[in-house]
Amino acid sequence: MTTRNLARVSAAIEVGTGVALIAVPEVVARLLLGTELTSGGIAVARIAGCGLLALGLACWPGGNDATPQAVRALVIYNLLAGVYLGYLRVGGGFVSYLLWPACALHLVLGLLLARAAIAR
């Protein structure tokens, strides 16, 4: 898979997650973390959704390839998100059937993007 396609997949996931967090943060929290949100948590989730939407749109590849800055941002985000989701499952006490797959997806995308960035 090319760097452009990897960046596009990662950006699309973040855009989709951002839109979902803005529209229905309670559902995302229930599916991903297996927990309910307080009113403050809903507000923070919607702000995080705005950030993910902006990240996905800013990193969406245009032209022939993704910019090095966009790839770098997606590498850092995916690796940190993957590690944190893994921590939430192992040490944070959150239990949900989507937590491990989300952790693995972020780590794999981060590593693939990092490999592609290094190969450049």
| Domain ranges, ordered by start, for the chain | 3-119
Residue 1 has pLDDT above 90, yes or no: no
Q: What share of the chain in percent tops pLDDT 70? A: 100
Cα 34 to Cα 15, 23, 27, distances in angstroms: 22, 18, 9
| 112 pLDDT more than 90 | yes
- Kindly state the tokens that stand for 38: 């307080």
pTM: 0.90
- pLDDT one-digit tens code per residue, 43-84: 999 999 999 999 999 999 887 788 999 999 999 999 999 999
**3-state class (DSSP) for residue 46:** helix
Angle between helix axes 39-59 and 25-33 (nearest 10 degrees) is 90
Q: How much is the pLDDT for 66?
A: 86
Radius of gyration of the chain (CA): 15
Q: Determine contact, residues 69/8, Cβ cutoff 8 Å.
A: no
